[in-house]
Structure 1
Amino acid sequence: MIRAILADDEPLALELMKKRLAHFQVEVVGTYPDAPSLLKDINNISFNAAFLDIDLPGISGLDLAVLIQDEKPNVQIVFTTAHRDYAIQAFELDSIDYLLKPILKERLAKTIDRLEDKLNLEKEKEPILSPQSSSLYIQCFKQFSIVCNNTAVKWKTAKIKEVFAFLTLHLDKPVHRDILIDQLWPGHDYQKAKIHLHTCISYVRKQLEGFGPGNTLTFAGQQYTLHLHDAVLDVSSFEKLSESVSSNNVEDVEKVLLLYTGAFMEEEAYEWARPKADELSAKLIAILHRLADYYEQNSLEDKYIGCLHKILQFNPYSEHIVTRLMLGYAHLGMRADAIRLYENFEKKLKEEIGIHPGKETVETLMHIQQGQT
Structure 2
Amino acid sequence: MTAMLVSVAELSNIFFVLAVSICFCGVFLFIIRNMIVLRIHGDELMFGGSGSVMTHSPRIPQMEMMKVHIPFTFKLHESFKSTYTEVECEVSSQVEYSLQALWGVSIRELHLALWKPWSTLRDASLNGTLLQGHAQYLTPPQTRQPHGEETLRLSLPAPELELGTPPRLCYPLVIFLTRRDNGDPHPDETVALVNVVHIKDSVCTLPTSILAQYLKQANGQLSCLKQLYLATGNSTNYDEGDVSSGLGSALALAEPCNNSGSSARGALVASGTGDPEGSLWNTAGEQLCVVCQYFPLSRALLPCRHTCICASCFGKLDRCPMCRSPIKSYFCIRGEEYMPLESEINPCKQRQSSHGPTHWLHDWNDRLTDFLGFAR
Normalising by structure 1, report the TM-score. Answer: 0.26
Higher normalized contact order (CA 8 Å, seq sep 6+, divided by chain length)? 2
TM-score of the pair, normalised by structure 2: 0.26
Larger strand percent: 2
Bigger helix share = 1
